[in-house]
Amino acid sequence: MRVLSGIQPSGRLHIGNYFGAMRQHLKLQQDNECFYFIADYHALTSNPSPADLARYSLEVTMDYLALGLDIDKTVFWRQSDVPEVTELTWLLSCVTPMGLLQRCVSFKDKVAQGLSPNHGLFAYPVLQAADILIYDSNIVPVGADQKQHIEVTRDIAMRFNGSYGETFVVPEAYIIESVAVVPGLDGRKMSKSYGNTIEIFEPEESVRRKIMKIVTDSTPVEEPKDPERCNVFALLRLVASPDELAEWEIRYKNGGVGYGQAKKRLAELMIEFFRPFRQKRAELENDLGRVENVLAEGASRAKTVAGQTLARARKAVGFGARAMANE
């Protein structure tokens, strides 16, 4: 099966990114043909500085490589290095009803978060559909809350196929294994926009300091605590063994344990979890030429597939020297 997914270069990746999408991406590459890209066209909707966009694109690449991306099995590239996707976006735009875009909740959510309501943000689902369709993707891993994105892509693909003949593979959503929402330092969902993140590869001492600042309630040490309502316990679920987690649950419910103790252990486990990947990440940071080569090779492979699909779509709509088979 061909798997397609993209990640925006909007900042340093954090543990919420890892325990959400990234871990699934790395797992899927074992038994599938995976196409993963840095969505820098999409990132333009928030008007980042050119320097930030370039730097974060490299940061994302290094993080994926350090965490186990296998470039022999997986195609990994920068979206903007395959501009064929923008032409396909226009072809798809011309069969996409306005009402379909107006019903997309992502636009309203982004505007509510303070982003400028530009056309790119509104038309985002069409570019996303082009990303998926141009690589003949079979499945697209998404969280349950993102299923609408794939439904929009399927709708657009079927409208195009209905108008011009069978041109695109109609993809299926692959709902990634659910984990509890990864809480940030303030208890809200971990997000760069909230400034409450723990970066995957930030210095270990910084990780310790941040974890010690996680917001908890004021329950006294001697009193029982509810693990289901504790941000620290929610993060322990991600890195503690089942046996240790069970012990912490008992200690919480029995009382006599302070949140500070749990935070110290969480910091140890979090640092231990990502420590094996740190050396490779440091090596990549000192060899940016290698990182660029990975992106260039990935773009070349992606471009071959994209070109073939775009040629089919161009022929379908009547561009170029189309064979007059029916005349």
Q: Which residues are catalytic?
A: 110, 189, 192
Chain CA centroid to CA 124, Å? 15
Q: Burial-class residue 321 by CB neighbours within 10 Å (0-12, 13-18, 19+).
A: exposed
**How far does the chain reach from its first CA to its final CA, in angstroms?**
38
Q: How is the beta sheet containing 74-78 ordered, strand by strand?
A: 74-78, 33-38, 2-7, 139-142, 172-175
The letter for the amino acid at 24 is: Q
Is residue 66 within 8 Å of 280, Cβ to Cβ? yes
Is residue 286 within 8 Å of 66, Cβ to Cβ? no
Is residue 167 within 8 Å of 312, Cβ to Cβ? yes
Look up residue 3 and give its two tokens.
């798997």
The letter for the amino acid at 33 is: E
Closest to 231 measured CA to CA, from 217, 248, 250, 246: 217
DSSP-derived 3-state class of residue 297? helix
Chain CA centroid to CA 311, Å? 28
The residue assigned the tokens 């038309």 is: 123
Is residue 88 within 8 Å of 309, Cβ to Cβ? yes
The letter for the amino acid at 62 is: M
Is residue 22 within 8 Å of 67, Cβ to Cβ? yes
Is residue 92 within 8 Å of 156, Cβ to Cβ? yes
